[in-house]
Amino acid sequence: MDRKRIVVAMSGGVDSTTAAALLKKEGHDVIGITMQLLEYGEAEGGCCSLDQVVDARRAASSLGFPHYVVNFTEEFDRYVLTDYVDKYMSGKTPIPCVLCNKHVKFDLLLQKALDLGADYLATGHYAKIERDAGGRLSLRKAADESKDQTYFLYTLTQKELSRLMFPLGDMTKDEVRDIAKGFGLRQAEKPDSTGVCFVPDGNYRDYLTARSAFTEAKGDILNSRGDVLGTHKGVFSFTVGQRRGLGIAAGKPMYVTRIDPGANRVYVGEKDELYGMKLVAENITWVDNAYIDNMLDGIIEVKAKVRYRHPESAATLRMWGPSGGMVEFKDPQRAITPGQAVVFYSGDRVLGGGWIREVLPQ
């Protein structure tokens, strides 16, 4: 076996801990690192809490490799928290995990690993990396598609992939828990972390109010005809597709269909009004630029997904230059939401993705 020095990003959960245990068992020189992303009092109960750090350190000690904590609180605030607030305040719905992966985990932490002389940075993500005969790397879906996390990893390029390892890509969650039990790890019984790590109670409205200088900004809630159905106290309390907490009595189920922050208006409609066919994407990046180099003036046939839990669907992408374009689906998509990502696939291969800027009328 070719022994490597591998830094493992350890959150304290079962996935990253099991990944570290497997690499150690294979005989690699493993170093565990946990990122401190928040002041610990702010993260109580979440996946960034002090309890998680303690769990990661205990696991590293029991498995026989060193463990360190690296403080990225300032950078996490700059790249992730500020964007989270800004997007909600502008009527969009953010995905903090994508930005955390791009700027913190696979930039800052990867560089820290390389500074420590590591050959690779490993994580507990459910995804796979494959190398073709020509040496080009591809990002592939995990064997367990119910746990696949490639939607959050679409910003990875050849540069990062060449230094990354995803040891759990061919495993199911049940298999990972069984392996953790075999190693005697207490993480085997820990529940999966859900939601946003810095909003552990799930109440993002309270978080936004506390974080920003928010003051009530009353506006109208309207239907597609322009009839006023009620009022709201701020567009940041709404997201496309939302049904509950609208504060209106329409006599039938209504959903948020569009948010207009400029006019301070929230639009609602019935379920069929949630569906759209076209979107504009910006800041598009590609896992392998070779795929797109000769296609900037053409139309690319892809499978695309507009939310993590949505299935991908057949679509065409017309590029408008190197990083923008229009995506048109063959079938209507539910709740296409500005601020979310649209990720492009070909089979199980991730091609790339971008941010949804706006939804176009049909």
Could you give phi then psi for residue 357, rounded to 5 degrees?
-90, -45
Could you give phi then psi for residue 57, rounded to 5 degrees?
-65, -40
Is position 48 annotated as part of the catalytic site? no
Is position 100 annotated as part of the catalytic site? yes
For residue 18, give both structure tokens.
């099991």
Which position among 47, 48, 97, 100 bears the catalytic label?
A: 100
- Give the pairing type, strands 275-286 and 349-360: antiparallel
DSSP 192: P
Which helix (H) or strand (E) segment holds residue 154: the answer is none
User: Contact 57/67 with Cβ under 8 angstroms?
Assistant: yes
CA 334 to chain centre: 19
Which residues partner with 329 through β-bridges?
A: 315
Which position among 47, 48, 97, 197 bears the catalytic label?
A: 197
Closest CA to 42 of 210, 166, 167: 210
Strand order through the sheet with 255-260: 228-232, 219-222, 265-269, 255-260
Sign (positive or negative) of CA dihedral 83, 85, 91, 96: positive
Residues with catalytic roles: 100, 197
